[in-house]
Structures are given as structure tokens and as C-alpha cells.
Structure 1
Amino acid sequence: MQQPSATADDPLPALIRALRSANPVERQRAAKDLGRLGWLARDAMPALVSALDDQEAKVRETAAHAIGGMGPEALATLVMMLGHGDKYVRRNAVWALGKLGPLARPALDDLCKSLKDNDPRTASGAAQALGNMGADGAESVPQLAEAMRGTNIVLCRLASKALSQIGSPALATLIAHLQHADPFVRGESALAIGWMGVAARSAVPFLARVLRGPECPLTRTPISSLTPTSIAAEDGSQALTPAQLPVPEAASSEMTCRVYAAQALGRIGAPAAAALGDLREAARLSPEPLRQAAQQAVRQIQGA
């Protein structure tokens, strides 16, 4: 079906003229009105692209937002915007590409480059856009894996989420990250694997290993080997169970990893039955919140 074209009543000519007004308020208003028209304002694309270099930041940002609302027809322009000097223009570009989902596949390489953008929000938006491609974004797995290992915590989480959205092609990478030296990366990997649900069944033994945790920092023996009477209070008057022991500050990130691993096993469901022994032990001996997460996972796996 042929798309509608401009008519005598079309506001586009006046709005395009207003984009060239000497008054920045009028230019911004015109860009905003064009944005409301969405793809119907496609004939104003050249004028909006010119407005991306307006001397007023608000005009540039509003024009970028208007272009982002034009859908797939704006794809080539959005890719160009990823290299713009204004971070707000780049943010609008990744936001718009994220809305396109798999239709943004031609922008994959450029979005991978944007994962290293010096603006954290642009980088995070690029991760979201890649994840929204689903399996069509599989070629971005190495770049998303690298983004997970950076110092941007938000980017790490969104990159791990993107890998979970990509699905099976990213599972091996997420499993490998369960063994990363940084406990935050390990935890985010476990969380992402959980989002994949049953499709991540091959990760069960690796998640169980994370669930069991590192050596106990108090005794240098595995937490799983401790019994309710194996740790005595300092005055010798009472035995403390591991669930009653305070979690050392340095171990809090490790505990988060174990909680996420328990949650992931629960989301995998019945195929995670091999981890029930470890989960039951965690539900019996571990401090909160791991104890509750393990109990919930047991119920999910058993279908309760």
C-alpha cells in the first residue's frame, strides 16, 4: 500500500521553515512537533539532520528524538548519529535502535563500537539495543562479554541481560563468566542464565558450583562441610549454626553470587533437579538471603 504523501494541509513545510528560525525556542518547538508526527514527518528528515548540528543543545536533542521516532526508515540516519559529538544525540540513537529490535540488525557493528562509548548511558543503551535483536544479535556476543568485564556496573548488568536475550549462542559465554575473578561478573552471569530459564539447563552443574561458594573465610573449609554444632561461640557457652553467623563484609559479594545462582536454578525448574542436594543444604545451613532463595528454588524445581 502506498504511504500517504504531503497535501496542501500538511504542516510539514511550515515546521521545516520553523527549524531554520532565528529563535531557538521556535526551532525546538518545530522539532518537537515533527517528532509527534513520527514517520509521517519523513520528508523533514534532511532538515532534522541539519538540526543535529544546531548551536543550541536542546534543539539538537529534540531533533534527535524526532528522528528516533521515525522507525526503520531512519535506520541509516540513526547509525550516522552514533558517531555524533553530542552525547544526547548518541543516546537518542541507541534508544531508537533498541526500539527497532531485530530490524536494527544492519547497525550491529556500529552498536558494538558504541559499547565503548565514553558516555555510560550511550554504552548501556547500545547493550540494550543489541539484546533486543535476540538471536539476530549473536555476532555481538564477544563484545558484550567484554563489556561485562568493564568497570561500568550498569553496563555489566545490561550486557549480561543482552546475552540472555540472545539465548543459546551466548550461553557458553555466560557459563565461562561464572568462573570470572570478579564476583560481580559471576553474579551477573548467574542472574542472566536464570533469565534464560529451561534453555539454560546445561548450566546447572556450573550454577551448583557457584551455589556451594568459595571456602569459608572464617575456617578456610567449605561452608557445606560445616554442621550446626561445628562452630562454637567465643565463650564456649553456645554453638552457632552457619545460618547464625554474621556474613563478613568482604564476603557479601560472594553471597550475592550464591543467591543469584540459587535463583537461576529455580528458574530453570525441573531440569535443575541434580542441584537439589546443594539447594537443600543451602536452605538448611546458610544465612539469609541465601537460605530463602534456596528454599524457593527447591519449590520451583519440585513444582510446588
Structure 2
Amino acid sequence: MRCGLVLVALLTLPVAAGRADEADDAFAKKLGAIVRDPRQSLWARVEAANMIGKIGPNAGAAAGDLIAVIERLRPTEQEPLQEAIVEALGQLGAPAKAALPAFTRLAGRTIDLDLALKQSRDAILNSSDSQEIDALARQLLSRDPSSRVRATKALSDLGPVARNAAPFLAIALGDADADVRRGAINAINRVTPNAKPTEAFVRAIAVDLRDPDANYRLLAVRALGRLGAPASIAVADIDALRSDPDPDVRRAVVDALNRIPIPQLPPGVTATNP
């Protein structure tokens, strides 16, 4: 009875938007303790789980308690509680990412639970991706070049789901660090695979046409050749490598110029398709 009164008191407390993080955590942990306590009634535990779900991501501190309960319950034991916990975890979003392995073990118990699992899994993954992408986009602005490089690689691995980070990657195309710039080029290819190459993108690739390393010059020529018409702004730079000391680069130049339409060049500059 005393535990039930505690729950009622908790449920009647206002959840202020400006509550400090410490207060949010304490409140969530009290609710999580009720969900986890087998001495509580099933109703009290379900209501506590529902309350956690209503609070949402600010109740992330309760995620551990919720996960512990669904991992402990047997397949047909306290099904309303299992479903309430799964739904609450979905409302928590990114803080509940650790619940995903447990979701796999819960699958196939009931139709209602399977539906809740799918909805919550999608909500957690979408929330996690969004927060991760935002964090990586901010990392592209770090003063540490190695952090910026890691961010480009991580965004590249995420692929099209990270398209919201494209404006930040576009800024990174002009990065003074060559590895960051190359990472941004690769990430843009993966994040926005169907987008028309921008002038900044083409010029970022063309920077490597002047690199002392023949391998980078070769890769740049080939990449520009694959772009075709959008790379026409770099034709003069590509044409300048016809006499490159590396034979592979010279051959790649011929192939690239066959693929790229020649634009109107400035006076005194000539370039003809072989």
C-alpha cells in the first residue's frame, strides 16, 4: 500500500520543461525502481513504465531498470508490463539504444508485443541516428584535424541517413587539412550519392592534381573523369598534367579528357580532347 501511494505521489508531480538534469535523473530513477520492484502490484509497475514513456528522453536514467526487467521476465510472464516497458523504451529514444539486443530476444511472444517492438526499435534507431549525426556534424567544426577526419569517416559509414550533415561536409571541402578534405569528398559521395556535383566539390578534388604524390594526382584525375561534364571547370588543370612524369597519370589524363566536355577556356589556354 505504501509503495502504491509513492507511485501516486510521483505521478501527480509536475514535470517541468526546465527541470535540471539532476532532478530529471532522480525522478526517472524513482519510477524505474518501481518498475523493477517485484513487490509492487502489476498495475503500479505498468503505470510507472507508462509515466517514464510520457516523460520521454529526459527519463533516460530509467533505461537500465527497464532493460533489466524485460531481460528477466519469462516469455508469458506479466505481458502487460513487458509491453509497457517496450513502449516506454521507444519513447526514451537514444538513451534506450542498449535495449535493442533485448528486443531481439523478446520477438515472437505475442502479436501486440511484436508490434510494440517494431515501433520502439524504429523510434530508438531514428533518434539515435539523428543525435549521432548532429554530434558528428558539430565535430566537423572541431579545431582538432584528427577529430574532423574521424567525423568524415563516421558520416561516410552512415551513408544517406546522414544527409542532414551535407552542409557541414560542404564546408569541410575547403578544409586546410588534406585528409579532412579527402574525407569530406568521400563522405559526400556516400551521403548524397545522387546529388549533382557542386563547383566546390569539383574544386576540392582538383586540389590533388597538384599534389607531390603521384597516387593522389592519379586518383584525382580518375575521379574528375568519372564526373564527366560537371568536371569541365577543371579541364585546364587536368590538361596541365599531359606531361606528368608518372605514365599512369598521363594515361588517366587522356581518358579523363575524353569523358569531360571542353568548356570555353580563357585566352591563351588550350585543351583538346585526344
Q: TM-score, normalised by structure 1?
A: 0.38
Q: TM-score, normalised by structure 2?
A: 0.41
Q: Name which one, 1 or 2, has greater alpha-carbon Rg.
A: 2
